[in-house]
Structure 1
Amino acid sequence: MAGPTPSSPQSFARILQTCDNFRLNLTDPAAEHLVTWRLISDPESPAIGLLRPPIVQQLLHEIEGTKDGSAWEVQDHDGKQVISFASHVNTSAARSRVMKELCERWRDEGLWSDVVGPKKWRGEMYPIYRNPFGPHDAPSEAEEFATAATVGSTSAVQDSEDRRNYAFMMERAACALFGVVTYGVHMTVYEEDPDELGLPKSCRMWIPTRSKSKQTWPRWLDNSVAGGIPSGLGAFESLVKESMEEASIEEAIVRRHARTVGSVSYFFKTPLGWLQPEVEYVYDLRIPPGVDPTPFRPKPLDGEVEAFELLPLEDVITRMRSGLFKPNTALVILDFMIRHGYMTVENEPDYQEIVTRLHGRFEYDQW
């Protein structure tokens, strides 16, 4: 499959706009009508997603038809339509089972095959949280359903779950259909040369080309290590896992040298119109000067990467301006440039706009 086509040079602000390209507009009559997906029908229940009209119509069909529509409810809150799980679907395991059955059936029926068809299916469960900015306390898929099979009363389970941020889990590929917040990790493996004062004067990054067989963004340029956070795995543990699987970087190297340096968050509307609010936890791994760099050098392992290149930051920027990087990876590189002083208010006219938009909240208070 073909990769990206180089574009004419873009500004950093335009690169940011490519990924952070959606704003919720409830007052524009021309805007697509979005329906809030709440955990339960109570108006005070957490909003967990934003549903586009095709998904709303399909869920209404599920409710009205012969399929398992009893799992869903539609309410009117102050003239605003809201969809939620039915009141009896009141545990995380029950909600996870509903979503598993629904998404697998849509896949098998050929609905939205460009998103959840067999070629796009990931077979990986993502956690959904009551508060997308709250703690990550999701169990693994095995723990979720094993617990559900052994616990006692539903009320006891519900009481326990009300104290957790975790709400349920669902297929990774389907998250965009439901407009839920998802999470990932990105790590930059780099070398940096200091000047006579010890300040960085030049930088080189290890940049992979994604495999042509990837379900998403094949042959685009990416960050040294990147991946989603599946249910039951923390951010750093996901990084350790992805570092070995994608880049052959040993666990001991990551645990000793990787540094957590923050996060970026953005609201992405896909070319097909689906909504993907995402949070990426960001890490740096600087190859220490004066040591054998061999153990730090990433190498393809699981087939998700075609090759790695060690590129000067100037070349990275040139390729980024040409639109060759996966959009959210470009945001992580912009964040790197700001943190390391390569982008400043003196040399970038859109500096404050970029800094602010790298840490968005998805207009969550309006959901």
Structure 2
Amino acid sequence: MSVSGNRSLTLLDLVDICDNVHIRRPSPTPHEFDAESLVPLCLSPTLGSPAIGLLRPILIDQLVKENQSSAQLNKPPLWDIRLDANDVSKPFVHRTDGGTGALTPSVSFQPWLDTHTKRTAAIKELCERWRDTGVFPDVCGPKKWRSELYPVYKDPFGPHDHPTRIPSDEEVEKSNFAFEMERSACALFGIVTYGVHMSIYDVVHEEGKAETLRLWVPTRAKTKQTWPGYLDNTVAGGIPSGMGVFESLVKESMEEASLEEVLVRQHARAVGAISYFFRTDKGWLQPEIEYLFEIRIPDGVDHAPFVPKPLDGEVECFEFLDQDEVMTRLKAGLFKANCGVAIIDLLIRLGYVTADNETDFMKVQTRIHGRFDYERW
């Protein structure tokens, strides 16, 4: 199935598909959920507490029910919910809005959830209960559950520190790490998540001809929970809590593509990152940062060690496609949305897409390195 229907997509169209959330400003690609009022999820109800996510009305309604249930069971509530900016009856205040000084609605953890261990435990119990009782089954139900923890950071653009690398609980609380939660549930809370993408390619030079880029492209298994049957980047995967960026790449390279650790460590090169704010067709929010790597197969070497092969069942096959075929399939909408953007970044970085041959070059370039309108949360 193609995301394009029957028309050929432009590169900017592909970016619009992936980066389709625009906070408090017009969207170039209107979405049926654009009219929803999104409320920031803050770490605590104190002034200046960082926003760590964005909540849809349907999720806030559920959190209100959770607080009511806690009260009935004589348990402390998890959530401080401030939806009326004029309500000053509580001893805490909302975060302010974009430097205007105006108070805005917000939801936060209650003050008693003041450590990463308490927040992690509370979110774990909540999400597992939602899984088992059928709340939001399309996101974190049994068929969507990943059994993988993702980190949540106070500053999504800050350091990826983690308790495993910090000597004391006191220092953890001063760090950027806030808590960790089940991967599948992150979209419910609009949490920024992180991943790695790697392209393996070579450049063919033939006398009298223009150089040709060839890229290893996998087809996702039809059993995948998300984007089954679409094309992907050579290696791609999420960064689990407690694992570094490069170590995640090494892990995914073996699991998805049978690439030996020694080869990845010797040849993989970090080449930046892309960032975009994606809303699913069900309205769930997925702001993501993907760290990019590449391996250019050296000239004159045996290609065999660099040839990816399916291993864990998440990939059906790999194809070695030239740049024209890659572009054809991109514009046909055959790539998973964020993988298409990662490949656009590759084509820009290698000089195949330039300001001279792409009308929307600057729009594309700036959109795929955005900040999710974070200052407007």
TM-score (norm 2): 0.88
Q: Does 1:56 align with 2:67?
A: no
Distance 1:206 1:27, change over 3 A: closer
> After superposition, where does 1:163-182 map in structure 2 within 5 Å?
163-182=174-193
SS in 1 for 2:212: strand
1:348 equivalent to 2:358? Answer: yes
Task: Give per-residue Cα distances to partners, 1:92-141, cap 9 Å, x unaligned.
Answer: 0110011111111111111111111111110100000000000001246x
2:97 aligned partner: none
Q: Which amino acid aligns with 1:302?
A: D
Identity %: 51
**Alpha carbons of structure 1 residues 5 and 211: separation in structure 2 relative to 1, 3 Å:** farther
Q: Identify which range, 17-26 or 52-61, moves more after superposition.
A: 17-26
Measure the CA separation in 2 of the matches of 1:32 and 1:200.
50
Say yes or no: does 1:88 pair with 2:99: no
Answering whether residue 105 of structure 2 is matched by residue 105 of structure 1, we say no
Match of 2:294, SS state, is strand
Alignment equivalent of 1:328, drawn from 321, 338, 347: 338
Partner of 1:293: 303
* Cα shift at 1:183: 0.4
Match of 1:17 in 2: 16
Among candidates 70, 74, 86, match of residue 81 of structure 2: 74
Do the aligned residues in 2 keep the contact of 1:190 with 1:285 (CA within 8 Å)?
yes
Residues 266-345 of structure 1 aligned to structure 2 (within 5 Å): 266-345=276-355
Number of residues of Structure 1 aligned to a counterpart in Structure 2 = 351
Matched residue, 1:153: none
Structure 2 CA distance for aligned equivalents of residues 360 and 62 of structure 1: 34
Distance 1:115 1:185 in 2: 22
One-letter code aligned to 1:174: A
Give the equivalent residue in structure 2 for 1:33.
37
Give the Cα–Cα distance (whole angstroms) in 2 for the partners of residues 356 and 321 of structure 1: 20
Structure 2 CA distance for aligned equivalents of residues 249 and 233 of structure 1: 19
Residues 190-244 of structure 1: CA distance to partner in whole angstroms, max 9, x if unpaired? 11124679x9821111100111111111111000000000000011100000000
Distance in 2 (alpha carbons) for counterparts of 1:313 and 1:99:
45
**Residue in 1 that maps onto 2:144:** 120
Alpha-carbon distance in 1 for matches of 2:174, 2:37: 33
Provide the secondary structure at the position in 2 that maps to 1:192. Answer: strand
CA positional deviation for 1:80: 2.3
CA distance in structure 2 between the partners assigned to 1:200 and 1:277 by the alignment = 38
Structure 1 residues 185-264: aligned runs within 5 Å: 185-194=196-205, 201-264=211-274
Alpha-carbon distance in 2 for matches of 1:252, 1:194: 27
The two structures have a TM-score, normalised by structure 1, of 0.91
Tell me how far apart the structure 1 counterparts of residues 254 and 244 of structure 2 sit (CA, whole Å). 16
Alignment partners' CA distance in 2, 1:132 and 1:241: 23
RMSD of aligned alpha carbons: 2.2
Moved more, 82-91 or 241-250: 82-91
Q: Distance in 1 between matches of 2:233 and 2:163?
A: 27
Deviations 1:323-365 (A, max 9, x none): 1000000000100000000001110000011111110001111
CA distance in 1, matches of 2:202, 2:179: 40
Residue type matched to 1:71 in 2?
L
Question: 2:88 maps to what in 1?
Answer: none
Is 1:136 the equivalent of 2:160? yes
> 1:162-192: CA deviations, max 9, x gaps?
3210000001001111001000000001111
Aligned to 1:150: none
Distance 1:51 1:6 in 2: 31
For the 8 Å contact 1:6–1:324, the answer to whether it is kept is no
Corresponding residue number in structure 1 for 2:47:
43
Bigger mean CA deviation after superposition, 287-296 or 127-136: 287-296
CA shift, 1:160, in A, is 2.1
- Paired residue secondary structure (1:323): coil
Matched residue SS, 1:170:
strand
> Structure 1 residues 7, 27: closer, same or farther in 2, change over 3 A?
closer
1:50 partner amino acid: L
Q: What residue in structure 2 maps to residue 183 of structure 1?
A: 194
Does residue 370 of structure 2 align to residue 366 of structure 1? no
Q: Aligned with 2:61: secondary structure?
A: helix
Shift of 1:27: 9.8
Counterpart code for 1:179: G
- Which amino acid in 2 is paired with 1:204? R
CA contact (8 A) 2:115 2:173 kept: no
SS of the residue corresponding to residue 80 of structure 1 reads: coil
Provide the C-alpha distance between the structure 1 equivalents of 2:327 and 2:272, rounded to a whole number of angstroms.
21
